[in-house]
Structure 1
Amino acid sequence: MRVVVTRPEISADKTAERLKVMGHEPMLLPLSKAIHKPQDAMDALASPHSALVMTSAEAVRTLAGIDPPLDADFGLPLFAVGEKTAAAARSVGFRNVHVGSGDGDSLADLIASRLEKPDLPLLYLAGKPRAGSLESRLEQNDMPVRVAEIYEMIAIDYSPDDIVERLGTPPAQAVLLYSRENAIRFFDLAARHPLHLSEIKFLCISQRTADAVPAAFRAHLRIAETPDEIALLALL
């Protein structure tokens, strides 16, 4: 099966290798790229905090770009949204990593179950744009949190010819969609070519992602059982 991978390039390459092992043909169409803000990360880390929260390995990559290397926070509790983010955090030296089940609400509940209300706020090392559900749920759980946007995902532009070539020569059979913003961006680019989309399966990592798929394309929409790539690829 020819499968369109819409993740940023670094992550897309890893997904492509997994697809090849599964016997599929990946077609890379990164829809965004990360702009890291290491100085903003350093400024945020300089303020007192009780624990760290991350919802993307991109935050870890931002920290990895700090010079001199980060080391003071490696022993603090770090709450990661899923195993991919947790593995990235461990790889750079974090030792006290707690892993959520893949979404912001469950991560907030995990934090509340593992920590008593701290004297110092949690530090959420976030990206832009983001859903905002994590910090809202933390506040509902009476957990103080400070948000620092340490990277930004910006859109990659493609010409109409690029889109036609990547989706239709020969036709793609499935598209992997990883977030609401990711889905919006895909259909903004590709829905101008409905003939190339009419028979494609749209595989979404979550209900929130699926909600961003236009109604005209929902006949072939499927949602992963859990919000992680293993469950997403299981839909193929």
Structure 2
Amino acid sequence: MRVILTRPAHSNERTARKLTALGHEPLLLPLTEPVHDLDAALRALAQSRGALAVTSAEAIRVLEALGSELTRHLQRPLFAVGRSTADHAAGIGFANAFRSDGDGSELADLIDRQRALLAGLPLTYLAGWPRAEGFEARLQEHGIAVTTVEAYRMRDVNPAEEVLRRLFIEQKTDAVLLYSSYATTRLFGLLALPEFETSLRSMHLYCLSEQIAAAVPPALRPRAIVAAKPTEECLLGLIGKSAPLQF
């Protein structure tokens, strides 16, 4: 299948390799790019002593960019969403990296179960913008103190109209992978013309979560297919297994 990827370039390339290995043809369409705030991350680490939390691999890339300044913090517990993010954290030296296999809410539940690792200190959340609210909201439900620091922001990437026409109109494309509500909203804003909607009605819209599917325009929401769990493995496993679209 020919599959459009809407993640930032670094993540797109990693997912593209996975799709190629599965026999699919990835088509890259990054809609955002990260802007790191290394000073904010460094201040957050210097002004705190307890456990750390991240809900994206981008936050780990921010920490990695700190170089030797990170060394003194590598013994701190770090909680991450997803195997790949936790593995990346371990790969840059974190000795105590813990992961949830679900979304941010599940990570907050894990932290609650491992509350002893907080040692009575506030959790430091190295976050991005924009971000989903589930992680911080669930921490509040558990009564876990958290200091949120925006270590990076996502900046819009504006693809040329001819690129959009080529991907969505001029050639047959089978599916789009949607990883975030923000990128999903951006994509359909860029494609807000009847000719694009006609093409989209012939595609599968694979969504990482129900929240992301809710960002798909109502007219196209029946084309949205949601992963059973919000992991890339589950999302990629949907490709090619969906029932044919009905028109």
TM-score, shorter chain, exceeding 0.5: yes
Q: Paired residue for 2:209, among 206, 211, 234?
A: 206
| Residue 168 of structure 1: how far off its partner (Å) | 2.8
- Determine the C-alpha separation between the residues in 2 that align with 1:96 and 1:105: 20
Percent of residue pairs identical:
40
RMSD of Structure 2 on Structure 1 (CA)? 1.3
What aligned pairs does 1:173-192 form with structure 2 within 5 A after superposition?
Answer: 173-192=174-193
What aligned pairs does 1:74-113 form with structure 2 within 5 A after superposition?
Answer: 74-113=74-113
Q: Secondary structure at the match of 1:70?
A: helix
| Residue 166 of structure 1: how far off its partner (Å) | 2.0
| Residue 20 of structure 1: how far off its partner (Å) | 1.1
- Partner residue in 2 for 1:196: 199
- Determine the C-alpha separation between the residues in 1 that align with 2:56 and 2:222: 30
* Residue type at the aligned position of 1:103: D
1:222 aligns with 2:228: no
- Determine the C-alpha separation between the residues in 1 that align with 2:162 and 2:43: 43
| Residue 159 of structure 1: how far off its partner (Å) | 2.5
Residues 195-219 of structure 1: CA deviation (Å, up to 9, x unaligned): 2212011000000000111111122
- Determine the C-alpha separation between the residues in 1 that align with 2:220 and 2:107: 31
Structure 1 runs of 4+ with >4 Å offset: none
- Determine the C-alpha separation between the residues in 2 that align with 1:25 and 1:212: 25
What aligned pairs does 1:1-236 form with structure 2 within 5 A after superposition?
Answer: 1-116=1-116, 118-192=119-193, 193-236=196-239
The farther-off stretch of 204-213 and 165-174 is: 165-174
* Residue type at the aligned position of 2:135: L
- Determine the C-alpha separation between the residues in 2 that align with 1:203 and 1:70: 37
- Determine the C-alpha separation between the residues in 2 that align with 1:173 and 1:15: 17
Structure 2: give runs of 5+ residues left out of the alignment: 240-247
- Determine the C-alpha separation between the residues in 2 that align with 1:135 and 1:49: 19
* Residue type at the aligned position of 2:125: Y
| Residue 42 of structure 1: how far off its partner (Å) | 0.4
- Determine the C-alpha separation between the residues in 1 that align with 2:17 and 2:221: 28
Q: Which has the larger helix fraction?
A: 2
- Determine the C-alpha separation between the residues in 2 that align with 1:203 and 1:48: 39
* Residue type at the aligned position of 1:234: G
- Determine the C-alpha separation between the residues in 2 that align with 1:218 and 1:129: 23
Aligned length: 236
Q: Secondary structure at the match of 1:226?
A: coil
Tell me the TM-score normalized by structure 2: 0.92
